[in-house]
Amino acid sequence: MTAAAAGGRDRGAQEAGYEPDPRRWRALWVTLVAGFMSLLDVSIVVVALPSVQRGLHASPAQVQWVVSGYALAFALALVTAGRLGDALDRRRIFLLALSGFVVFSAACGAAPSITLLVAARLAQGLAAGFMAPQNSALIQQMFRGGERGRAFGFFGATVGISSAVGPLVGGVILALASGAGGWRWIFYVNVPIGVLAVLLGRRLLPRTRPSGRQHVDLPGVLLLGLGVLALMYPLVQAGAGGMTRLWWMFPGGAAILAAFTWWQRRLVVRGSQPLLDPRLFTTVRGYAVGAGVGTLYFVGFSGVWLVFALFYQDGLGFSPLRSGLAVTPFAVGSAWAAAVAGRLVDRLGRVLTVGGLAAVIVGLGGTALLLRFAPLDVAPWVAAPVLFLGGVGSGCVISPNITMTLRDVPVHMAGAAGGALQTGQRLGAAVGTAALPGLFYLVLGDDDYRGALVAALGAGLVGMAASLALAASDWRRDRRMRRPHATCPDDVANSPMHARQS
């Protein structure tokens, strides 16, 4: 029997026995709040780094690990955590990880030295990585049909907004918590929210009851972890020359991931349970394309906010709060569009992401041109409407793409699939946050902040254009398949007739 047919029968059986949990929408909000905190902590700390460096007498290389260490640990945990949630109990993994996230957030805030702060951030990132894939898996478990699209719409909005508003939220906290230790509240703010989420999660989240004996692929965990580490470590060390000193880790990481792929295929042939089933990419409709679109988009998307922060704070002398307010139109547009797009994705499909990517490219490209040529005293406000357009486009990319990538994944594979999707996004984000600020400083030269901004944003647009090309290719393929007498291989593979014949 093919994996697609098995997945189709798995979905059919679960649809037939599905009874909506009356608490599912309240449970969703618990997971979204927790997910928002974990993703926000990737970017919120950026505006506090100068305060952390002064308060703990740290070097620039040490303080950079407050950001990069979290991102690295986050990415390393995702796929393994998703598989553990599938094999054991998503609710239990989620609550344990959320509890750890709260404890380590408090440890970050109380850290008396930069060494202990970095150690706490690594642990916090690991907890966030274990929590994140349970979010999308719980959506797969709790919702069906059109409700699943709406739920993924909220989830996509959470992903997009948390990435965009981090500098603003950090600026607000630093403005309210004045003094040498004000940066500690960047971490302390997670504690009361996280405690409340744990208490509500214990009441509202459904349990997972895996069928049959479950096995966790430990060699796969080791290979994937080493491969992701080899690819990400030079990127998170880019500010300290990691791209040139550690270039050899890139081919090494690619070789390890190739070995991981071989091992996963071997387990499938033997009938064992792989960490990440390779049939997700070959037989589950939309998964491979969606993962590629998301990864390429995050290459261009994630580094943009660091570039804006450098331009506004170092170039124009804005405070962290004012700098965050200058990019708020993007976050507002993204939040609104993501909620709306979640309801439209079932009807419009891939064309929604194609239009969204085009709008992001126009919005951020127009913003770069306005900030380059408009008078500096009014440029941020003149650019606000165009930046809002970019945010609307982003809301039509992240939310629908997550929905289309994961909606046909069998529920028993949802955690690993969500973890792999987010691992690709984290790798893309690592590339973007290393490359775009690096290009900004390279072009900066004689304090040409405007030229540096245009160059860095232009590089980000290249990643978005690559994502657009992939999404448009998939859209054209879908249109060809919908023509009369056209046969879609995926539809054939998932059809009841095919399942019976297999």
Give the Cα-Cα-Cα angle 418, 8, 130 (nearest 5 degrees): 15
Which tens digit of pLDDT belongs to each residue from 297-307? 988 888 888 88
Long-range contacts of 325-328 (CB under 8 A, 24+ apart): 325/168, 325/171, 326/380, 326/384, 327/164, 327/167, 327/168, 327/387, 328/165, 328/168
Q: Both 174 and 234 in a single domain?
A: no
Burial class (CB in 10 A: 0-12, 13-18, 19+), 339: middle
Q: Both 97 and 123 in a single domain?
A: yes
The larger pLDDT score, comparing residue 329 to residue 213, is at 329
How much is the average pLDDT of 450-475? 91
Question: In the chain, how many domains are there?
Answer: 2
Question: What share of the chain in percent tops pLDDT 90?
Answer: 26
Q: What are phi and psi of 383, to 5 degrees?
A: -80, -15
Per-residue pLDDT at 20 exceeds 80: no
Q: Both 43 and 180 in a single domain?
A: yes
Q: Is the separation of the CB atoms in 294 and 428 below 8 Å? A: yes
Q: Alpha-carbon distance 468 to 355, whole Å?
A: 9
* C-alpha to C-alpha distances, 297 to 1, 397, 430, 447, 469, nearest whole angstrom: 35, 9, 12, 29, 11
Q: Both 58 and 113 in a single domain?
A: yes
The larger pLDDT score, comparing residue 159 to residue 358, is at 358
Residue 313 belongs to some domain of the structure? yes
Domain span holding position 293: 23-206+275-480
Per-residue pLDDT at 420 exceeds 70: yes
Per-residue pLDDT at 19 exceeds 90: no
Q: Both 73 and 141 in a single domain?
A: yes
Per-residue pLDDT at 328 exceeds 60: yes
The larger pLDDT score, comparing residue 63 to residue 500, is at 63
Q: Is the separation of the CB atoms in 69 and 125 below 8 Å? A: yes
Question: What share of the chain in percent tops pLDDT 70?
Answer: 90
- The mean pLDDT of the chain is 82
Q: Both 283 and 418 in a single domain?
A: yes
Among 274, 289, 319, give the residue marking a domain's end: 274
Model pLDDT, residue 367: 93
Model pLDDT, residue 484: 57
Model pLDDT, residue 409: 83
Residue 139 belongs to some domain of the structure? yes
Q: How many residues does the chain have?
A: 502
Q: Alpha-carbon distance 326 to 58, whole Å?
A: 29
Per-residue pLDDT at 3 exceeds 60: no
Which tens digit of pLDDT belongs to each residue from 125-139? 999 999 988 888 888
Torsion of CA 51, 56, 58, 61, to 10 degrees: -60
First to last CA, the chain: 5
0.85 exceeded by pTM: no
* pLDDT confidence bin for 101, thresholds 50/70/90: very high
The larger pLDDT score, comparing residue 364 to residue 492, is at 364
Q: Both 172 and 246 in a single domain?
A: no
Model pLDDT, residue 8: 45
Q: Both 169 and 295 in a single domain?
A: yes
Q: Alpha-carbon distance 258 to 264, whole Å?
A: 10
Q: Is the separation of the CB atoms in 437 and 313 below 8 Å? A: no
Model pLDDT, residue 322: 84
* pLDDT confidence bin for 2, thresholds 50/70/90: very low
The larger pLDDT score, comparing residue 162 to residue 95, is at 95
Per-residue pLDDT at 103 exceeds 50: yes
Residue 212 belongs to some domain of the structure? no
Q: Is the separation of the CB atoms in 383 and 374 below 8 Å? A: yes
Q: Alpha-carbon distance 128 to 166, whole Å?
A: 16
Residue 488 belongs to some domain of the structure? no
Report residue 378 as tokens: 């009014």
Residue 15 belongs to some domain of the structure? no
Q: Both 162 and 173 in a single domain?
A: yes
Which tens digit of pLDDT belongs to each residue from 112-121? 999 999 999 9
Model pLDDT, residue 258: 93
The CATH number of residue 50's host domain is 1.20.1250.20
Residue 449 belongs to some domain of the structure? yes
Is the CA virtual torsion 146, 148, 149, 153 positive or negative? positive
Residue 435 belongs to some domain of the structure? yes
Q: Both 202 and 232 in a single domain?
A: no
- From the list 30, 206, 129, 149, the residue with the least C-alpha distance to 420 is 129
* pLDDT confidence bin for 17, thresholds 50/70/90: low
